Structure 1
């Protein structure tokens, strides 16, 4: 039996986290002894961890890092590493160099700096594994590269690497210590290789494993929307972060209501540090009760099943699990024409793509509302897509099962 360790930054209700759980289900517990270490020791998805996966964290908190309580716990971990273990001083040259680079680009990303501190300050795992897997960029990757003993190492990349703010200076050549790098889409691979062209021979596309039967089964469980609204329901699922561009979505709804002759509400399932700011933007736009932040739901699928349109208006993506879930449920989808999204949707065939502006989004939504039959056909076509790709899994298993040299 092979011993395999997975390391991930957090275990909240995110796409990468759910994709990892689906990967666990695809690995035979009779062949693989699976262990999981969550770098932050936080996340509410822990209750869905399969029984055959051993959690290595000793003081785990089932609290989302996107809530105020979760952010406070995370900050305590950063301070414990930075002050208690002296990493602010030891990593001072690294922190100052990268902070200066961020200032030059006009994009300060403190979370990217914190990942290095969390990785260096996290408890060490003494056991040596046959394979260690860093399932997310940043902290998990740094931890596996620098602090885990394994005969082979693999890293997963889920996002547009450069646009997400990662750089070679942040990474400190960590990817040189991995035997295989898996990207979740062809575009993610392309953008990753723009930063690391020298690793082309060890980069493989591993599409997220989507358990469509589970999604359809869970969509029939629970009520979903609890209001008695009779108009058009628009739904978006995603964390309340800058990447998801909810500011544009709010402006879009304000414009749509001026030109649409039927009632429309826009619902968002997700939580994040931008909640307070978005609530104020909703208030300022006069959309209270119409652009609705529902928070995180353990089962989002009844909401997706019962919405009229699914919208994914983001600045960039890797490969969106939320889009794949909406496709599984046959929903008409509008997404912005950006990296990641355009790889998942064929414009005018199984969904619509448009520019990331309130004007383009509102006009396309109006067209979809006024052409319900065409929109329904988009959803039916999306439902036919085969979303469970086995090639990446086969190569992952080949890495796991190969003789260790």
Structure 2
């Protein structure tokens, strides 16, 4: 990257918990980029224990507002179970006290920029607990998709007077923000997620694809479909993924669909896979720190989500030169041109199945999509960092 920044500049990012996901991966790349630009970076996590924390660069100061996770058992329990979970509630209350104390310690610290990195998270800490010249909120989602109740929009509206910039990861995300909270128009800017394409390609060459090490019957001429996602049906539509797989199997197509990721609905998905008798066609590989060798070996990368912000799977697949089929989600038309750089289909079970089937059958189309170009606006990390540095320039 070619931007230049005064080394005395400081930035604080706030995030709830640093578990594996698209937002976390893009945030990690951004942490590294700000470090490379000479910024002093502080990363404040509400709770510890996220499975991506060990990847945070050592130059970044990591602070946990709570010393451990508590409260999940109590709030998930019902009836008599809540009585048994009272110790967990007490622990939760204590952790909130710890959080208030640790937040107070930031009152005496000064930052050029403080930013909350997740759309639905509270901005109270960066607004009330941190002395910062510029305050920003990342908008990673289409609010029409994730905020049916209007609760997130209301929270943004209430805090708007104290937020200087909204960093939107796509034009669609920006438009959804402005539609929901019109006062944000003059403060909303689109900066696509950093990709680090060279790093992705290097990671893809780091080791063999995980499914090349599985039983050989999975490799003999079968079309390899890949999806990388959090195993949560609410956003990622993993149950309909299983049903689509069943439809493709029943039509006699020779394929294996690999899924990388973990999440709260993993067990339910495994049950559905057995119920639909697609365990030989839909293979769960679990969470992987480095999924890029799997991308490299895939024939098709499929996005079946109900909604996205700007889909990281599409970015990763296109950087690695893969044919992509994607349900119509937020920002997808900023990433793909239908029939030219990918297939975009209606966000509906039958349409997704038909689009995947088309790519299984038509190897010539598959090859053309894999070899197609990708938007330089999305790929150009140096321009994105220059944009962020300009927005965060406190001397202006």
Partners of 1:119 and 1:143 within 8 A in 2: no
Change (3 A) 1:38 1:85: closer
- Equivalent residue of 1:207, what SS? coil
Partner of 1:258: 250
Partner of 1:211: 196
Q: CA RMSD for the aligned pairs?
A: 3.0
1:239 to 230, 234, 242: 230
TM-score w.r.t. the length of structure 1 is 0.82
Q: Which moved more, 1:334-343 or 1:238-247?
A: 334-343
In the TM superposition, 1:93-108 aligns within 5 A as none
Partner of 2:176: 191
1:144 to 126, 147, 159: 126
Change (3 A) 1:184 1:383: closer
Q: Deviations over 1:337-366 (max 9, x none)?
A: 122223211110011011223321222212
- Equivalent residue of 1:289, what SS? coil
Q: Deviations over 1:218-246 (max 9, x none)?
A: 00112221222121111100101110101
1:159 to 117, 120, 141: 141
2:20 to 13, 16, 22: 13
Residue 83 (structure 1) shift: 3.8
2:318 to 320, 327, 343: 327
Could you tell me which runs of 5 or more consecutive residues in structure 1 were left unpaired when the two chains were aligned: 88-117
Could you tell me which runs of 5 or more consecutive residues in structure 2 were left unpaired when the two chains were aligned: 1-7, 77-84
CA distance in 2: counterparts of 1:18 and 1:86, whole angstroms: 27
- Equivalent residue of 2:351, what SS? helix
Q: Which moved more, 1:294-303 or 1:350-359?
A: 350-359
Residue 123 (structure 1) shift: 4.1
In the TM superposition, 1:371-386 aligns within 5 A as 371-382=362-373
Residue 210 (structure 1) shift: 0.7
Residue 23 (structure 1) shift: 1.6
Residue 335 (structure 1) shift: 0.2
Partner of 1:309: 300
Q: Deviations over 1:103-156 (max 9, x none)?
A: xxxxxxxxxxxxxxx987974433221211111123353432333221211111
Change (3 A) 1:72 1:210: farther
In the TM superposition, 1:37-76 aligns within 5 A as 37-57=44-64
CA distance in 1: counterparts of 2:122 and 2:96, whole angstroms: 20
- Equivalent residue of 1:204, what SS? strand
Partners of 2:133 and 2:394 within 8 A in 1: no
Partners of 1:248 and 1:357 within 8 A in 2: no
Change (3 A) 1:398 1:266: same
Change (3 A) 1:259 1:86: closer
TM-score w.r.t. the length of structure 2 is 0.84
Residue 72 (structure 1) shift: 6.0
Q: How many residues matched?
A: 367
- Equivalent residue of 1:12, what SS? coil
Partners of 1:333 and 1:352 within 8 A in 2: yes
Partners of 1:6 and 1:36 within 8 A in 2: yes
CA distance in 1: counterparts of 2:75 and 2:182, whole angstroms: 34
CA distance in 2: counterparts of 1:232 and 1:388, whole angstroms: 32
Confirm or deny that 1:24 pairs with 2:9. no
CA distance in 2: counterparts of 1:18 and 1:348, whole angstroms: 28
Partners of 1:119 and 1:142 within 8 A in 2: no
CA distance in 2: counterparts of 1:362 and 1:137, whole angstroms: 31
Residue 197 (structure 1) shift: 0.7
